Amino acid sequence: MPRSLPAFAALALAVPAAIVFTISQSIFPGKVQAAQDPAASPQFYTQKVRPIFDANCASCHEGKNHRGGLNIDTRAGLLKGGHDGAVIVPGDPANSLLVKLIRHEGPKDDPMPMPPKKPKISDADIAVISQWIAAGAVMPDTPAQP
Ligand code: HEC
């Protein structure tokens, strides 16, 4: 019996560790994978995504501007969304209202393209925003200054 004690102790440690890992994976799915994706970093947002928003959306959706009820300065703002609710679905750009509107593929009942009355933003910019949402829409906690 005493000889099996180390084995028992190892098991006693390993089992809870495995349970904690399994639970954390179910609460934060893809977290491990996301950490390897360069688009899943606050820097990707700050350096690539935010300049596109600043150039095309700031006058209506940044700082004090909340057109359509939407302010895009923070992740919370994007998840709260505007009058129609959340405008991004982290991990799912195809189902994100924001992506549909900048692609001019908005819902039939409220299809106003974004930005309104301006040419569509470039395919490259749309790709960057889609890539960022696909990787989980990671943003710094503090909003950038518009
Ligand atoms: C000239 C002002 C203006 C600019 C610039 C602008 N928007 Fe908007 N946006 C609006 C208005 C007004 C609404 C509300 C439209 C409606 O209710 O149909 C809106 C609505 C939205 C919505 C839907 C909110 C909801 O819940 O219905 C999204 C998403 C959005 N804008 C994203 C963007 C993005 C991204 C950009 C930049 C690429 C942008 N907008 C640029 C004025 C603007």
3-state helix/strand/coil string of 6-24: HHHHHHHHHHHHHHHHHHH
Distance CA 17, CA 23 (A): 10
Element (H, E) at 96: none
Mean local confidence (pLDDT), 45-55 = 98
Counting ligand 1 atoms within 8 A of each CB, the residue from 50, 57, 132 with the most, and so the one to mutate, is 57
Q: Distance, CA 49 to ligand 1 centroid (Å)?
A: 16
Among protein residues, the one with the nearest Cα to ligand 1's atom 15 is 68
What angle (nearest 5°) sits at the alpha carbon of residue 105, between those of residues 103 and 111? 115
Q: Which residues contact 79 (CB under 8 A, 6 or more apart)?
A: 86, 88
Domain boundaries, the chain: 1-36, 37-146
Mean local confidence (pLDDT), 39-59 = 97
Q: Per-residue pLDDT tens for 79-124?
A: 999 999 999 999 999 999 999 999 999 999 999 999 999 999 999 9
Q: Which residues contact 140 (CB under 8 A, 6 or more apart)?
A: 42, 45, 46
Look at the pTM and tell me if it is higher than 0.75: yes
